[in-house]
Amino acid sequence: MFAARSTPEFYAGKRVLVVGGSRGIGRSLAMTLARRGARVCIAARGEADLWTVAGELREATGRRHGHAVIDVTDAEGVLRSRDGILDELGGLDVLVCGSGSARAACVLDAPIEVFRRMLEVNYLGHVNVVRAFAPALMDQGHGDICLLSSIVAFVPIYGYSAYAASKGAVVAFGESLRQEMKLHGVRVGVYYPPTTDTPGLAEENRTKPAVVWKIESESGWNRVYSADAVATSIAGSIERGLVHGMIGFDSWVMRLGQRLAPGLFRRIADAEVRKAMRIDRDEHHEPVAGFPRQEPARRGRGSPRSRSGG
């Protein structure tokens, strides 16, 4: 794991809001920062999970941490929750936009509602949270905003059109936001989790198309990270003020490959799709609709990209 280095002091006494902090990466990040001395408030929709995690945070640190029920797709609801959260924390130093969900489906198979929902939760959800809480950071003239995107934002692979588009929107939003916030002394970072073992990934896997499964399982780069390892890396990236934070060695390789040799990168990725299609067709003993038989592809290394939904 390529983790940005972190010092124990940076988070001591910091007031941190982790949206999406009741499960998965957000939960691990809340725990990591609380253990480093931060005062944390976690926010999500499900109150039962929030209570459980708030209890775990208290047990781990011996200090009380807050929680708030919010739905990031409800802009007005997020705004209404703002004063209560700021009172609870006593202000704000670090804002983590960590909510999100993924759905893998091909463009023509997914109902348009999937495209809408991905944008509403993954993109507009971050926008709603930033619009509500950024003024608190701007007024005090310092602070950090952390936006969780995904590795598929720069490697948008087969079956992830709706999700990748929503995560790509986060990247563009974050870059623009960075310039605006810089004028107020507030730092903005966009971080790119790779495939991470979380309840969200388990949920995504329940409806994943067979071909996407095969692309992933045949890929030489489909490493699955633990939520704690990803959280440790994000904690370090926030501290260092990284504008873009890759997580894991393979993410760096993919990023470089895609930047330096995009044509080659695409050919390798396309070969992986063809291979997955062939395996799927052979298993079902029938041609795959819309995908003509291909000549055997040269056997090589896996594509330099991992499946990353979540």
Ligand X SMILES: NC(=O)c1ccc[n+]([C@@H]2O[C@H](COP(=O)([O-])OP(=O)(O)OC[C@H]3O[C@@H](n4cnc5c(N)ncnc54)[C@H](OP(=O)(O)O)[C@@H]3O)[C@@H](O)[C@H]2O)c1
DSSP state of 14: -
d(CA 286, CA 31): 49
43-51, 210-218, 233-241, 279-287 -> range binding ligand X (CB under 6 A):
43-51
Question: Is 72 or 277 the residue whose CB approaches ligand X more closely?
Answer: 72
What's the closest the beta carbon of residue 305 comes to ligand X, in angstroms? 13
DSSP state of 226: E
Q: Where are the beta strands (DSSP E) in 34-90?
A: 39-44, 66-69
Residue 262, judged by CB atoms within 10 A of its CB (0-12, 13-18, 19+), counts as exposed
Nearest position to ligand X, beta carbon: 310
Binder of ligand X out of 10, 35, 52, 71 (CB under 6 A): 71
Q: List binders of ligand X among 238-297 (CB under 6 A).
A: none
Binder of ligand X out of 195, 222, 233, 237 (CB under 6 A): 195
Question: Is 208 or 277 the residue whose CB approaches ligand X more closely?
Answer: 208
Binder of ligand X out of 3, 35, 37, 73 (CB under 6 A): 73
Per-residue binding string, ligand X, 102-141, x by CB under 6 A, is x------------------xx--x----------------
Contacts of 214 (CB under 8 A, 6+ apart): 275, 276, 279, 280
16 near ligand X (CB under 6 A): no
Contact of 196 with 25, CB cutoff 8 Å: yes
CB atoms under 10 Å from CB of 24, counted, come to: 25
What's the closest the beta carbon of residue 221 comes to ligand X, in angstroms? 14
Q: Is 163 a known active-site residue?
A: yes
List interacting residues with ligand X (CB under 6 A): 20, 22-26, 44-46, 49, 70-73, 98-102, 121-122, 125, 148, 150, 193, 195-196, 198-201, 308-310
Active site positions, annotated = 163
